[in-house]
């Protein structure tokens, strides 16, 4: 009799653990969907509206040299800023506009998330279909971005696709 009661107790414990694990998985998936919907916005626009939105954001950095300049054959040239910033960075902002597709994408990545990246490096890109921002290839770390402080990181155009990309930190 006691053996049957012990068996029922263990079955109840295993079922409870499975229910808790299932609920944790649902919360994790829901959180991921919420994060993506909150930090990535894309919309289809006309070329005129997309260009206007891009120029509006670019105007904020008038006269500022980007930290990263893309040269021929996608070779980055890093312009080191002389003064080290003490302002803690909050977000990495990305604005990408593809005039052929008529699509504009805005991405906002919290810097606390970037600080958790392995090796303090990260990669943002489109898998060979336009722009790619790979700090490993550019020999940049999160620490380098934090030393540079808020400002323009990259302003580029993909000569093959015509896509424009603006990346900055706040």
Within the chain, how many helices (H) and strands (E) appear?
4, 9
Residues 74 and 101 in one domain: yes
Instruction: Report the pLDDT averaged over residues 108-125.
Output: 73
pLDDT above 90 covers a percentage of the chain that reads 26
pLDDT above 70 covers a percentage of the chain that reads: 79
Total domain count, the chain: 2
If asked whether residues 50 and 30 sit together in one domain, one would say no
- Asked if pLDDT for residue 132 goes beyond 70, the answer is no
Residues 73 and 131 in one domain: yes
- Nearest-angstrom CA–CA distance, 115 and 136: 15
- 151 within 8 A of 61, measured Cβ to Cβ: yes
- The parent domain of residue 121 ranges over 45-169
Mean pLDDT, rounded, for 140-155:
84
Do 87 and 129 belong together in one domain? yes
Query: Alpha-carbon distance 151 to 82, whole Å?
Result: 13
Question: What tens digit of pLDDT does each residue of 23-79 get?
Answer: 999 998 888 788 777 888 889 999 899 989 989 999 999 988 888 877 666 667 777
Q: If you count them, how many residues does the chain have?
A: 170
pTM across the whole model:
0.72
Reported as a single tens digit per residue, the pLDDT across 96-112 is: 898 888 999 998 988 88
Same domain, 25 and 77: no
pLDDT at 129: 45
Instruction: Report the chain's mean pLDDT, rounded to a whole number.
Output: 81
- Confidence label for 122 from pLDDT (cuts 50, 70 and 90): low
C-alpha dist (Å) from residue 2 to 5, 6, 121: 5, 6, 57
């Amino acid at each position: 009799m006691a053996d049957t009661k012990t068996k029922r107790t263990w079955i109840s414990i295993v079922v409870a653990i499975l229910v808790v694990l299932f609920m944790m998985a649902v919360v994790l998936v829901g959180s991921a969907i919420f994060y993506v919907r909150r930090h990535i916005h894309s919309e289809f626009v006309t070329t005129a509206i997309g260009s206007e939105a891009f120029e509006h954001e670019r105007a904020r950095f008038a006269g500022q040299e980007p930290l990263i300049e893309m040269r021929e054959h996608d070779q980055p040239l890093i312009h080191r800023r002389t003064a080290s910033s003490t302002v803690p960075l909050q977000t990495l902002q990305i604005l990408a506009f593809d005039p052929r597709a008529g699509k504009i994408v805005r991405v906002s990545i919290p810097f606390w998330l970037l600080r958790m990246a392995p090796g303090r490096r990260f990669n943002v890109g489109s898998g060979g279909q336009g722009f790619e921002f790979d700090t490993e290839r550019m020999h940049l770390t999160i620490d380098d971005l934090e030393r540079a402080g808020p400002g323009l990181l990259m302003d580029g155009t993909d000569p093959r696709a015509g896509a424009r990309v603006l990346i900055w930190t706040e």
